[in-house]
A = this chain, B = another copy of it.
Amino acid sequence: MTADRTIRLAHGNGGRFMRELIRDVFEVHLRNPDLDVAADAAPLATFDGIPYVTSDGFTVQPLEFPGGDIGSLAINGTINDLAVAGAIPQYLTLSAIIEEGFEVAQLDRIVASAGQAARESGARVVAGDTKVVPSGQGGGLYLVTTGVGYRNSARELGLSQVQAGDLIIASGPLGDHGAAVILAREEFGLEGDLRSDCGPVLELTQAVSEYEGVRFMRDPTRGGVATVANEIARATSCEVRLRELKLPIRDAVRSVCEILGFEPYYLASEGRVIAVVSPEQAVDVTAAWRSFENGRNAEIVGEIVAGPPRVVLETRVSGWRILDELEDDPLPRIC
């Protein structure tokens, strides 16, 4: 590994320090037959279907947390954005913005974690970039990943396909990532054994993306299931009803939220899917997901109904309340 213990501005200058950092950290962990760190742009195999592209930035604090780190998060986040569009991820790019003074050993751990997540996804990192910013102008490490994949089907998936009567399915417990990251912050002085759900959802999305009744899928990251529900309400001008009793939220996540005064429905997940499915196929989709370890707690959690465009939570005690679109920041930054 590069001889320096911490990142210096010279690691970003295009010269020897940068070359050695790329060789000793990025190339080691991301190595694959399609990666040529000396190339300006990487040639790809021709796609078998419709190509898809997505891009996402990652600025989570802390950089490492129970169940994941910014490296695995950056790979899985982009994998999942392709997956919920029905696409199979094939190529990834990884750009790092590193703060002067950052520990090389921590960078090494994080890039190793990214490399492992990429290998598990079946997608290859084929291009990337590193920049070093002066001390005090970064959060240690920011990552931006872009994913390119393909889809063999032209079946339309998207908010425009959603209609009144459709049901909403969650693939598993919601908000684990958000709660785990909050717990990992020293500022709160809380401890627990919650782990981020950070992981790929590709097997879940691929299992059902060709079901006729699947209208739309989204991973409930920033803003959680309540934000996905608000996006659906706004796009369809329908009411979205969520059932508190059905929404799978771990007791530990509820506890964190109670202590800190957050709504769990706005907490991010990083390894879950929300799907909107026709009533005829909702049970099939739920059953299909439950056959996977990562979907064994899948539940039908709500429905789309004709009505004012808003999100209503039907509470345990047979009442209801509105889950509004987020306004000013009610949550610590967790993504």
Residues of A within 8 A of B (CB): 8-10, 12-19, 38-44, 46-47, 50-59, 81-82, 84-85, 87, 91, 93-97, 126-134, 136-139, 142, 144, 146-149, 151, 158-159, 218-219, 221-224, 227, 230-231, 235, 325-331, 333, 335
Bound-complex Cα distance A330 to B14 (A): 11
Question: Which of B41, B57, B127, B131 contacts A87, CB < 8 Å?
Answer: B41
**Structural contact, A46 and B43, CB atoms closer than 8 A:** no
In the complex, what's the smallest C-beta–C-beta distance from A61 to chain B, in angstroms? 8
**Structural contact, A97 and B59, CB atoms closer than 8 A:** yes
- Inter-chain contacts of A8 with B (CB < 8 A): 328-329
- Inter-chain contacts of A9 with B (CB < 8 A): 329, 333
Bound-complex Cα distance A14 to B177 (A): 15
17 pairs, A vs B, C-beta closer than 8 Å: A8-B328, A9-B329, A10-B326, A15-B325, A40-B82, A40-B84, A41-B149, A47-B51, A51-B51, A53-B126, A53-B127, A54-B127, A55-B95, A97-B97, A97-B144, A133-B333, A137-B139
User: 15 additional contacts, CB 8 Å, given A17-B326, A44-B51, A55-B128?
Assistant: A9-B333, A13-B222, A13-B326, A39-B85, A40-B84, A47-B51, A53-B146, A54-B93, A55-B95, A55-B146, A56-B95, A57-B95, A93-B146, A95-B144, A131-B335
